[in-house]
Amino acid sequence: MRQTGRRIGYRHLPATAAAWRHPLAALLWAGLAMQPLAAQDAPAATPPLRLTTLPSVQVNASRLDIAPFDLPAALSVIRVAPAEAGQAGINLSETLVGVPGILARDRQNYAQDEQISIRGFGARATFGVRSIRVFMDGIPATLPDGQGQVSQFNLDSADRVEVLRGPFSVLYGNAAGGVVQLWSADGTPTPVTTVGVYAGSNDTFRFGVDTRGTVGRVDYNIAASQFLSGGYRQHSRVRRQSANAKFNIDLGKQRKLTLVLNRLSQPVAQDPLGLTRAQVDANPRQATAVASQFNTRKSTRQNQLGVIYEQQLDSADALRVMAYYGRRSIVQYLSIPLGPQKNPLQSGGVVAPDTRYGGTDLRWTHRGELASRAYEFVLGASADYQRQHRLGYENFVGGTLGVLGAVRRNENDNVNNVAQYAQWYWHFSPRWSLLLGLRHDDVRFSERDFYITARNPNDSGHVNYLATTPMAGLLFRAATNLRLYASFGQGFETPSYNELGYRSDGQAGLAFNLRASRSRNLEAGAKWKITPALEFDSAAFRADTSNELAVATNENGRATYQNVGSARRQGVEFSLTGQLVGDWRMAAGFTHLQARFRNGFRTCTGTPCVAATTPVAAGARIPGVPDNYGSLRVEHGRDLGWREGLTLTGVGAVSVNDTNTQQAAGYGLIGLDASYTLALGASTRLQLSARLDNLANRRYIGTVIVNDGNGRYYEPGPGRTWLLGANLTF
């Protein structure tokens, strides 16, 4: 695995079309070339068109052979259709309309990735995804330290997204306040290729191609895309290329091998930074002055290979082995002024981590009977590692700003996570079923410091976090179309290297004094199939967290963290999804959530701040979490001809800091879209589409940067935007 990983590893390629001279690009064109070969054995047929109603699919989030309707947990399965339902495949947030509990917000800042929270977990993330486990085709997209991202998701090849919320999530280990999994579609028996082109406001352009088919015992799904945008705000240009390839190989004798290759290349992603309230009021499209002065920006390269082997040993036992390797390299230019960098303990204004990561998961599944009632048992173990070489540089040379300067940090930041887990599902009576789970994690952080000077001592060190997290769920089949359930689970979350990176006392080294957060999760819910194609789900939940992490200091452009006692996230959520009457479909989700600190503590306000002296009262709102949010999509139409859609999104006001002295107002947005699909032949379809977002051209704050030390909390969302698209399927 290591040798294979090195072959597809990160390479510095010029940011031109030559960047596509890569094995995944070759795979794409190889897949296109396969089609005529497969077509010799398969007659021409009308390609299968994606339906907007929720299909019957195998759901993998539970690790059990249980339909979502019979799982004692809140699980949403969303069909991904980039060419339909107003989706363009640009952002994951497009696919999550109507899903309760989860709040996915496009920052309009591709240097920081999308902001995703589930029931209030993850809202403090200033970049990427925190407190939520992310997977892609069953392979972790969250590093062992708990930091994840969704930027590598290629939605052209996707089949569905699964969103798991509540106590069951804790069985995924560190930082599992919720789970988001993207699954690529399998190859089709008859080759199908889709080419899509989109263009819209703010110089936005996206091109994507996906080809699926079967050759002998191998089915394939290969996709690649390129996305360009000038950005809604100044200094927010982005160029992103991604590719994904999945191959299912039937080895015979109930054995299957799956290969998944993924590549992300984002050579340019400018960062406009946040704005103060006064700046938003003056001009929401502006960038902070220091963003231009230091040319704040980020470049990212990631390559990943995953292998999954599955074998049905006999009628009762099955084996699954997964292994993966990847490399993610980032260079990010920050706006830290020159003055603070004179401090010998300051690590500079350029962050350059190069991360190699990988792991394996071994799982055995057994099905049998106990007291003449069926049960399913899962026993597994996993090991994941993260080897990060982190460099820091000054962001200036002489009087020139925004360039790579002298080295100020050089260290290895490593993480190892070893875990064992077990799940047992027992249908112990015709109406009752029980689900039990247990997981044990051993997460070890270690730092080896190579940047040692007379005024910057050796600050190498290590810390271990151990956790055993149980889970239990009980489900009652009240009627053929009604399920009632209750569940309980205990979870934990270690600090990531982002939070461990700086000590609050200003000394060199990592903040190894930070403790892992612990949570107790309760949920009670109901699932009602109003009709076979229309389902209503509801859930009440509570998560009590101890050792909650919050900001301790903001000084010299760096934030440090502290454990501040307990917090509570509680609320209710509702969803209604499926087919209405005739050709009408809908997906609606609403969440009411109260996220509060239960203990008072002291925090920092302003910059510089060398000690936490400002009181935060017990009962203060956790920043970044709205009390109410929801979304609705209503759609009408068929596979051929016209299809029209209406999307409504509403988000309540959010506090932007721990002291609750400032907040971003709530907002409601309206989107309209329409498409027309026509048949150009027996196996060819052309779809033309148009979309308007923020129809009322409302000013609003799309996302917030919680506890920003400079008071630049606000990231404005775009005004009215349009997008035109064309998709050819043949």
End-to-end CA distance of the chain: 36
| Residues paired with residue 482 on neighbouring β-strands, in sequence order | 479, 528
Which distant-in-sequence residues (6+ apart) come within 8 Å of 116 by Cβ? Answer: 92, 102, 103, 104, 105, 122, 125, 129, 132, 150, 180
Q: CB of 416 within 8 A of CB of 385?
A: yes
Per residue in 236-261, pLDDT (tens digit) is 999 999 999 999 999 999 999 999 99
The whole-number average pLDDT for the span 24-51 is 36
Instruction: Quickly state the pLDDT bin for 346 (edges 50, 70, 90).
Output: confident
The whole-number average pLDDT for the span 601-619 is 81
Alpha-carbon span 311 to 309, nearest angstrom: 7
504: pLDDT strictly greater than 90: no
556: pLDDT strictly greater than 70: no
**Domain layout of the chain by residue ranges:** 2-41+53-126+133-176+195-729
192: pLDDT strictly greater than 90: yes
Most confident range (mean pLDDT) of 41-55, 322-336, 559-573 is: 322-336
What pLDDT is attached to residue 370?
Answer: 95
What pLDDT is attached to residue 59?
Answer: 60
Q: CB of 266 within 8 A of CB of 150?
A: no
Q: Mean pLDDT in the chain?
A: 88
What pLDDT is attached to residue 7?
Answer: 29
Task: Spell 586-600 as b/e; 16+ CB within 10 A means b.
Answer: bbbbbbbbebbbbee
Three-class SS of 696-720: CCCCCEEEECCCCCCCCCEEECCCC
Instruction: Quickly state the pLDDT bin for 44 (edges 50, 70, 90).
Output: very low
Task: Spell 19-31 as b/e; 16+ CB within 10 A means b.
Answer: bbebbbbebbeeb
Alpha-carbon span 220 to 243, nearest angstrom: 14
Q: How many CA atoms are closer than 13 Å to the CA of 246, on its beta-carbon side?
A: 23
Alpha-carbon span 613 to 258, nearest angstrom: 54
DSSP 156: G
Cis peptide before 608 (omega within 30 of 0): yes
Q: Choose among 229, 182, 213, 178: nearest CA to 82.
A: 182
What pLDDT is attached to residue 505?
Answer: 72
Q: CB of 153 within 8 A of CB of 139?
A: no
The whole-number average pLDDT for the span 595-612 is 81
The whole-number average pLDDT for the span 703-719 is 91
Q: Which run of H or E residues covers position 27?
A: helix 23-39
Per residue in 612-668, pLDDT (tens digit) is 788 999 999 999 999 999 999 999 998 899 999 999 999 999 999 999 999 999 999
The whole-number average pLDDT for the span 145-152 is 88
Instruction: Quickly state the pLDDT bin for 2 (edges 50, 70, 90).
Output: very low
Per residue in 669-696, pLDDT (tens digit) is 999 999 999 999 889 999 999 999 999 9
CATH 3.50.50.60 assigned to 2-41+53-126+133-176+195-729: no
What pLDDT is attached to residue 27?
Answer: 35
Q: Considering only 62-66, 533-537, 651-655, which range has the smallest mean pLDDT?
A: 62-66
Name the residue with higher pLDDT: 45 or 161.
161
Measured in degrees and rounded to the nearest 5, phi and psi for residue 620 equal: -65, 150
Alpha-carbon span 664 to 428, nearest angstrom: 50
Per residue in 417-470, pLDDT (tens digit) is 999 999 999 999 999 999 999 999 999 999 999 999 888 888 888 999 999 999
